[in-house]
Chain A
């Protein structure tokens, strides 16, 4: 397999475009020769049953499912819908927004979009191209198009589901017609999604009788698919703290064991995982509410004890405004009632509180099922994977910072990070699934230089990148830019980077440790200082990666604008265009949280 992978640049003339080729390579990476033979036979058979497959790529698909996702939720909803439609004999084209050619919109008949909203009402990065096409001048009429939108969001933000709303306006403006009205879904979106999928299914049936649909007789060959609804139980092999005792943040390195036949991932992917809530906190909740841990409750179709529901299935640590509102209705407390009316104050209220704070400050009478009903289902948490499967086949490494804060006379621990770094022990199991991150990928050509910018645990995916490059024997020019607090205390994976530098895989390491000096230097400032070199690398075709918190990412973007002006002779507008052009070329990739 490795041979085929390394020779990819020498593959003779073929009918696949770069993206298709990359995806094919990704799909077959890791197969042994028997599996490859089987796969080639499978593909040949497909071709035999689909004589027009080649043209089909250029034809307008009858039904397209488009998703734009950041955390993988939108993708998962779209996949479920695709499965459902396929089971009824439809052949929807399932495609991520960044792989979708916007001008194909005019050829579409039925378009179903699942889209999440980021930050202040922005679409996920993968949908930037689609949005700017629809907002631009080159759009053509979409009067033949029928569409439906499932918008994911978080009602505690002002711009709730804004990306979905904007997309709806844009499509309407071009004359597109609605298959169904837009559905907005909150953090606890699964029930809505289930409902919506049924509606879509019947709506599609009405508009496109099955006999007209092209049916691909694809049988899933994988016996088990592990996704958010069916997580894989990975065993914790090892955990160690990798910041010193006097470091300001507590960061742990975790190694999880997985079966490489069942779990596959690429550098850049994230791991979604479920966790168990703190038993001490559950005991306290039960004691305050006077509920029995044995009380029977139902969650969906499952019946279980209250303590199990609280431990494994419900969200206790990320307090959502809607939970506060629901709790408020159980009490006579005027302060809480007033708070529920004011979303701004409510957001502030939940920002440093967990359920336990709410329940202990505002006691209320509630029965077991009532409590379960007002709580959200536990949302899985995502962590960038810090290892390469090509290098270490059966492990997944994670870099986890313990979220802890003191507020309202109580020490708070993050749900997942508390469980992962304080509670679970070696040989315990964690429910996990891979969340693909196709917009954060190694360059396809091994010669392409990489500039990897990360702050704090944002450095994790670069460890996967370089492990992969090393195990492939690839030797590009690579530059790591890392920021944290103290050189001696929290230089995450320092010895790995030094070894990569020694072996020639890392050419340059730039660092910003904000608490080591008076100036409080952050990565964006370091980037600007080294702007001439950075611009030079970009001119040589380097890919630029940014991973970390949203503020860091904004700072880096400002530095890039300034660098393009100082060293590239751009003005305000053309600097922004320059960076946008890098993004469109896939040379400016971000993973921001």
Chain B
């Protein structure tokens, strides 16, 4: 039998822990693109190469290469950022992207239309406010979702902390990102990647935390899910889920959507060990031949849930307790103002398609910038591409609402269908978009 590893596996293996020849690709002035291999490696650093598909043919006729630019996706566990961070996010989008910001269903933001020469300055500037893009894309754990839960801020804070811990625990350990983008010193050698190894995961890996009764994060569709179990506002632990994912390949019926299996309950102190163990099992048992079949859901299908669970328990050195009963009653954002149990207010803004820009119709970007200028709480990007202005003291409520209305961020005239709509960025840049 002639079985060949997926070519991406070789690219990863030869990349010297995600360095590839990115430095050379960046220094090459003759092309706005990266080398083909580096375009794969760049995903681990958080960005995709794209080109303006509407211009391809014209530019080809002009002896010009496609109009390449890059989409960079930040790592922002639970979608939380401070107003200070937002001001930088805004400025960078104006100066070094295409002047817009896109919120994503994975609770983070993306910049589009970044030219190659602007990538390094952009990464440096968001790093100044402690935001990176490591694992924004690529075959590693992606941005960790966490229910934004405006009603119960103390619980959100505690669970959000776990989202951050998981995200950091599952980060690649390579110094490549620091070396290439942040002028960190080159590692002399002997570097290792203890969790991922030199070929990382077979495919992307998504993690989410839900706080019942809200399932905004769609926890059953993630590779790894945590359902917070609480009692009187105290976090008791998590029900652990594994093997979800809704993606299928068109006309390939060996691919299918799948909801995650429940593995059992764990107390909070086992969270990182279990997360690591699930990743490690997927690393060792995942399919590295066919990327279509490489997500954890197919690994579990092949192994069987029982064997998979036993392997996770063995590696984590724990035993799952019986899962606690949970009940989800809502999904989706609750628009407008909500007051939490501590008397703070939260304003959920509907952002159509997650697209934040200044247009002739509405100055969303400038509006958010003005709000960030006076806001004292935080911002939360929701899993529905919307934005919550969170933890607003009562005294500031009117001022913020006024700004939101003034810039078209808040309107009383939107249909329920529109409010529930979601869209991908699609043409002209996204290679997966269908025109």
Contacts and interface: CB of A to CB of B under 8 A. Distances in A.
Interface of A: 240-244, 253, 487-488, 491-498, 501, 509-511
A494 B60 contact: no
B30 A496 contact: no
Contacts of A493: 63
B67 interface: yes
Contacts of B32: 487-488
Contacts of B29: 487, 509-511
Interface string B32-67: 100000000000000000000000000111111101
Give the interface centre of B29, B62, B63 by most chain A CB atoms within 10 Å.
Answer: B62
Nearest to B115: A488
A495 B67 contact: no
Contact of A496 (B31, B60, B61, B63): B63
B137 to A, nearest CB: 24
Contacts of A494: 30, 63-65
Given A487-B32, A488-B32, A509-B30, A240 B61 contact: yes
B30 A253 contact: no
A239 to B, nearest CB: 11
Contacts of A242: 62-64
11 contacts: A240-B62, A244-B59, A244-B62, A253-B63, A487-B32, A488-B67, A494-B30, A494-B64, A497-B30, A498-B65, A501-B30
Contacts of A509: 29-30
Interface in B227-260: none
A237 to B, nearest CB: 15
A241 B30 contact: no
A240 B59 CA distance: 11
Contacts of A243: 62
A175 to B, nearest CB: 57
Nearest to A509: B30
A240 B31 CA distance: 22
Contacts of A487: 29, 32
The 10 A-B residue pairs whose C-beta atoms are closest, nearest first, are A509-B30, A242-B62, A493-B63, A511-B29, A495-B63, A494-B64, A242-B63, A240-B61, A494-B65, A495-B65
Contacts of B62: 240-244
B30 A495 contact: no
A494 B65 CA distance: 7
A552 to B, nearest CB: 19
Contacts of A498: 30-31, 65
Given A495-B65, A511-B29, 17 more contacts: A240-B61, A241-B62, A244-B59, A244-B62, A244-B64, A253-B63, A487-B29, A488-B67, A491-B64, A493-B63, A494-B63, A494-B64, A496-B63, A497-B30, A498-B65, A501-B30, A509-B29
Contacts, number: 38
A511 B67 contact: no
Interface in B188-237: none
Interface in B54-95: 59-65, 67
Contacts of A501: 30
- Main secondary structure, interface of A, reads mixed
B67 to A, nearest CB: 6
A495 B61 contact: no
A513 to B, nearest CB: 8
Nearest to B69: A488
A139 B60 CA distance: 58
Contacts of A495: 60, 63-65
B25 to A, nearest CB: 13
Contacts of B61: 240
A564 B31 CA distance: 30
Contacts of A497: 30
A43 B237 CA distance: 100
B156 to A, nearest CB: 45
A495 B32 CA distance: 12
Nearest to A493: B63
Nearest to B66: A495
Contacts of B64: 242, 244, 488, 491, 494-495
A314 to B, nearest CB: 35
Nearest to A511: B29
B266 to A, nearest CB: 53
Nearest to A480: B30
Contacts of B30: 494, 497-498, 501, 509, 511
A426 to B, nearest CB: 15
Contacts of B59: 244
B114 to A, nearest CB: 13
A313 to B, nearest CB: 35
Contacts of A241: 62
A484 to B, nearest CB: 12
A509 to B, nearest CB: 4
Contacts of A491: 64
Contacts of A244: 59, 62, 64
A240 B58 CA distance: 10
A71 B32 CA distance: 38
A410 B32 CA distance: 39
Give the interface centre of A242, A494, A496 by most chain B CB atoms within 10 Å.
Answer: A494
Give the interface centre of A241, A487, A493, A501 by most chain B CB atoms within 10 Å.
Answer: A487
A402 to B, nearest CB: 15
Contacts of B31: 498
A491 B63 CA distance: 9
Interface in B15-38: 29-32
Nearest to A516: B117
Nearest to A482: B30
Contacts of B60: 495
Nearest to B59: A244
A475 to B, nearest CB: 19
B239 to A, nearest CB: 52
B221 to A, nearest CB: 39
Nearest to A495: B63
Nearest to B67: A488
B96 to A, nearest CB: 14
Nearest to B31: A498
Nearest to A463: B63
A332 to B, nearest CB: 52
Contacts of B67: 488
Contacts of A511: 29-30
A487 B30 CA distance: 8
A523 B32 CA distance: 19
A385 B150 CA distance: 70
A503 to B, nearest CB: 14
Nearest to B33: A498
A486 to B, nearest CB: 11
A422 to B, nearest CB: 17
A481 to B, nearest CB: 11
A462 to B, nearest CB: 13
Nearest to B30: A509
A467 to B, nearest CB: 13
A244 B64 CA distance: 9
A244 B60 CA distance: 11
A242 B63 CA distance: 7
A244 to B, nearest CB: 7
A242 B30 CA distance: 17
A198 B110 CA distance: 79
Nearest to A512: B29
Contacts of B63: 242, 253, 492-496
A495 B68 CA distance: 13
A491 B31 CA distance: 10
